[in-house]
Chain A
Amino acid sequence: MNPPAGPATPHRGGATVEFQHVTKRYGPVTAGPGAVNDLSLQVPAGKICVLVGPSGCGKTTSLKMVNRLIEPTGGRILIDGADVAAEEPTALRRRIGYVIQQVGLFPHQTIGENVATVPRLLGWAPARQRERTDELLALVGLEPGLHRDRYPYQLSGGERQRIGVARALAADPPVMLMDEPFGAVDPIVRERLQNEFLRLQKGLAKTILFVTHDIDEAIKMGDLVAVMHSGGTLARFGTPSEILADPASDFVARFVGADRGLKRLSLTRVRDVPLAPALTAQPGDDAADARSRVAADPFGHLLLVDALDHPIGWLDPRKLPTSGTLETSMAVPMSPLLEPETTLKDALSMLLDADVQAGIAVDPEGRVLGLLTVDTIAGLLNRR
């Protein structure tokens, strides 16, 4: 994906969004599903705030009150300090991006027309609409020439979701509302869309309110997570690591799950933790010398690498010849290769799958950075 560029995206970054004692009741007495009870929270500009909770907890209602698809019973919602209730709803909605689970592309319009919806409503000149459309298609990883004139049903589910995001970004809104935007695709595509979107958001820095019922998605996508309770109350609001480290209530602890220690691992990446130095040798090195080096090493394993420091395989110290030189053929299959961006949760899973004690961390060029051991990960789990 290309970074957004050009005069069509003049201002990046988001606006603050603030809920002040927002309440929505659907009946005079009972709260009912979808109700919201005295919700107050502040999302700083450029952050993703995930609203998560069981169904009927009012997360979608909260989202729809921001662009006034639903009007609150009480309280205020401010965008950059301005009350949304003071603005004409259609004008307000045109400067807030909106993505829904079923995407809601207009089946009778081409992809290009779909993406240009808000620019068209805002009365942009056709040439500018077209330029912006092509820019956005490229941004979400779809070739403009190939997709612009096609119809929504001609796309895969993942492509439709991307178009949904592109359409919401069209007029460069400072705030985006996303209601389970990746909910309608299979897990593999969802994972890819999540990663793409996070990469995109790094350049765009929109303020995003993101609704999901999936705590794993909340932890992955959110700078901030608001856990909501049935009845529309805010149970916990904080960063993912704060919430995982201290759920603060039984409800939140149960909701984030018994594996919250493991989930914490998904917040930390290989580049964030100290790696054990790898004991390495190259083919052609003296075998006796290698044996003595291994004997002195606490980990007791020797990694064979090539001249460029790319790992070849492990050498079993007991099977090393007493004389002569090291050969490539002596190396046994490798531990998993871990990249700096790999989460510790994924790393641990790979180590357990491969039934080894250590993974080899490599840089993007494939050179050995060091070793990540199961002990290191266990140590991190025990801390805090």
Chain B
Amino acid sequence: MSGWDWIASHLTDIAAATRDHVVLTIIAVGVGFAISFALALLIHRDRRAYAPVTAVAGLLYTIPSLALFAILVPITGLSVLTAEIGLVSYTLLILVRNIVAGLDAVPPEAREAAAGMGYSALGRLLRVELPLALPVIVAGLRIATVTTIGLVMVTALIGEGGLGQLMLRGFTLQNYTAVYVGTALSVALAVAADLLFLGALRLATPWRRARER
């Protein structure tokens, strides 16, 4: 059976693996962003939270992924939950740092003008600070997403893994077509996600787009 024949006869499997990969990534980055956003706002309000939050996130980031899953499997089993706990943990450091950096980069005079003209604290955050922090926040999301797409592969070892499953089976059965397909598609996913974020950022920040001209 040639490689192309294998692909043709396994389109459904490939599509399912790709879909799983995307879903695992979206959940990980989505949940990671929600947690990081809350932590970043906490830090934005009270700087003293910065050191402990980044210390914990940094610690999580340094745990090797296989070791982390080895710790979790006895507790949460071979499940999506186990995979996501690991994946989410790895996004926190990047996202918290970038959201805080984005909010820090808001020009102080814009912040002062907003306060002086009668924005409420929430209105100022939503209408002035977050839009201005958006480029740095999206930069963090791009790194976190691309990293997560790579890490999802590893979760194949605990029965998840999306395209990682495809590759793992390929290695086991010495079916290198499956390995190549898994590799190519994961790279394609990473590139597509990156371009998607870039495009969305350009649409959301016409004030920056105009500046580039």
Contact = CB atoms under 8 A, between A and B. Distances in A.
A334 to B, nearest CB: 48
B116 A90 contact: no
User: Which range holds the interface residue count of chain A?
Assistant: 20 to 34
B128 A106 contact: yes
B113 A100 contact: yes
Contacts of A153: 207, 211
B113 A106 contact: yes
B117 A121 contact: yes
Given A103-B109, A104-B113, A108-B131, A91 B118 contact: yes
A174 B115 CA distance: 19
Given A104-B113, A106-B128, A121 B119 contact: yes
Interface of B: 107, 109-120, 123, 128, 131-132, 205, 207, 210-211
A94 interface: yes
A105 interface: yes
Contact of A104 (B110, B123, B207, B211): B110
A183 to B, nearest CB: 12
A102 interface: yes
Given A100-B112, A151-B210, A107 B132 contact: yes
A107 B205 CA distance: 10
16 contacts: A67-B116, A90-B119, A90-B120, A91-B118, A98-B113, A100-B112, A103-B109, A104-B107, A104-B109, A104-B111, A104-B116, A105-B110, A107-B132, A108-B128, A108-B205, A117-B117
B118 A104 contact: no
Given A90-B119, A121-B119, 18 more contacts: A69-B115, A90-B118, A90-B120, A94-B118, A98-B117, A100-B112, A100-B113, A104-B107, A104-B109, A104-B112, A104-B113, A104-B114, A105-B110, A106-B128, A106-B132, A110-B207, A153-B211, A154-B210
B207 A107 contact: yes
Contacts of A67: 116
A197 to B, nearest CB: 18
A170 B153 CA distance: 56
Contact of A121 (B110, B118, B131): B118
